[in-house]
Structure 1
Amino acid sequence: MLWRNARRPIAVAAIVFFWLLASGWLAKPLVDLAQPRTYRTPYDPATTPASAFGPRTAIIMLGGGTNIGPDGTLVPKHDVYARIALTAALQARCLAAGGVCKVIVSGGNPQHHAASEADTYAPWLVRAGIAKRDLVLENRSLTTWENARNAAPIVHAQRADTLFVVTSAYHMPRAMLDFHRFRMDPVPAVSGVRRVRTGLWPRLANLRDAETALHELIGIAQFYVYRMLGWF
């Protein structure tokens, strides 16, 4: 009897909740929380002075998933194209400064597609102007934590004295936590920022943005819980 009486208010509350998400009024604060003000400006390599690059620089580009294209081939997900463009521009700026500049592409195959993220992105990075000899593929990581853990020995083996991490704004806070945990202090290079559009009508993009933000916020909470338990 209690459940039958609660059906209508529960249904109304669910409709209002999803409308707030889809129209952006709830999605926007979630996305803003996931990408703090510090990371809401895309990184501009053109403003990076030559002195910002050391004699040996490593640029780590983090994976962001793959999609199956219309022809059945794997292609980067939407956000990854901006990461590829920024990585290539940053490496070009680094080479112009006269140092050794290696690009580490970190991303395994969490979606269980035909190839890993790193292997899928590699041809796109080459087309963007990065020489194959400067690419290092780390194709086993399934999480951001593993990105940092698996990249650390590569960075140390290269004796890199300057480190950049390239990823999207919503992903950067969690990435920085994990890289700091492995005693790396990279320069955060934000490739793109999510912008939520608010209004009266629901938008599928707002639901996707809210899902992404929740994933990142839960991941950050997980980091602190695991560290408290001694697992990280």
Structure 2
Amino acid sequence: MLNLAQQGFDQTITPDFAPKTDIVLMGGGTDREGTGLIPKADSIPRIAAAAKLYRECRASGASCRLILSGGDPQNHGQAEADNYAPYVLAQGVAPGDLIRENQSLNTYQNARNVAAILGDAHDSELIVITSAYHMRRSLAAFDAFGYRPQAYVSDVRHNSVTLLPRFRSFENSELAAHELVGMARFEVYRWLRLY
């Protein structure tokens, strides 16, 4: 199932930057640690990839913005975008180039709310950063709003064949099932014109 969810996105391809480039980091959740919140383990590679890509974009001479997209779907008391912001700022993202979309609760809302920020002009290059297993659904969501972003895969999950079941394998199966069901639901909603 994991291979099916990640099919076509098993490697990171360096994107092309345009004179105006918008980079969207898709939220991946938060975890409680002590009395605070930290990005989920899956979000750390996304955050690092977003900061790296932003720095490369700026080095190319382009005008670059980083949009952090993610509300508080887990009801932890802080939006993912707000939680991730200090991490990308610490890795070299200029505060003036950072936009927080902190209201979305799912992938479709991520795309809808980012599309509202970008507007109808479509005059900049759009790059979406997320994990391989989440990329297909993310691109489909942006497609629903007329955007054809470049995919930038932050990380790829791998399964290993083992004699005894491992927690990581169960976790991978759950993630893959969530994405495959989510993609199927998305297609049905599109067919019904709900999306």
TM-score normalised per structure 2:
0.96
Q: Give the match for residue 111 of structure 1.
A: 74
- Distance in 2 separating the partners of 1:179 and 1:159: 12
The answer to whether the 8 Å contact 1:53/1:94 transfers is: yes
Are 2:20 and 1:56 aligned? yes
Q: What are the within-5 Å matches in structure 2 for residues 62-73 of structure 1?
A: 62-69=26-33, 71-73=34-36
Q: What are the within-5 Å matches in structure 2 for residues 1-232 of structure 1?
A: 30-36=1-7, 38-43=8-13, 45=14, 52-69=16-33, 71-156=34-119, 160-232=123-195
Structure 1 runs of 4+ aligned residues shifted over 6 Å read none
Rg larger in structure:
1
- Distance in 2 separating the partners of 1:159 and 1:172: 21
Q: How many residues align?
A: 195
Percentage of matched positions with identical amino acids? 43
Quote the offset at 1:149 in angstroms. 0.4
Quote the offset at 1:53 in angstroms. 1.4
Which 5+ residue runs of structure 1 have no aligned equivalent?
Answer: 1-29
Quote the offset at 1:79 in angstroms. 1.2
- Distance in 2 separating the partners of 1:229 and 1:153: 23
The answer to whether the 8 Å contact 1:84/1:128 transfers is: no
Give CA-to-partner distance per residue, 1:161-202, whole Å, 9 cap, x none. 101000000000000111111101110000000101111111
Which 5+ residue runs of structure 2 have no aligned equivalent?
Answer: none
- Distance in 2 separating the partners of 1:96 and 1:160: 20
Q: Go from structure 1 to structure 2 and tell me whether the alpha carbon gap of 1:54 and 1:76 turns closer, same or farther (over 3 Å shift).
A: same
Residue 180 of structure 1 aligns to which amino acid in structure 2? D
Residue 39 of structure 1 aligns to which amino acid in structure 2? F
User: What is the root-mean-square deviation of aligned Cα atoms in Å?
Assistant: 1.3
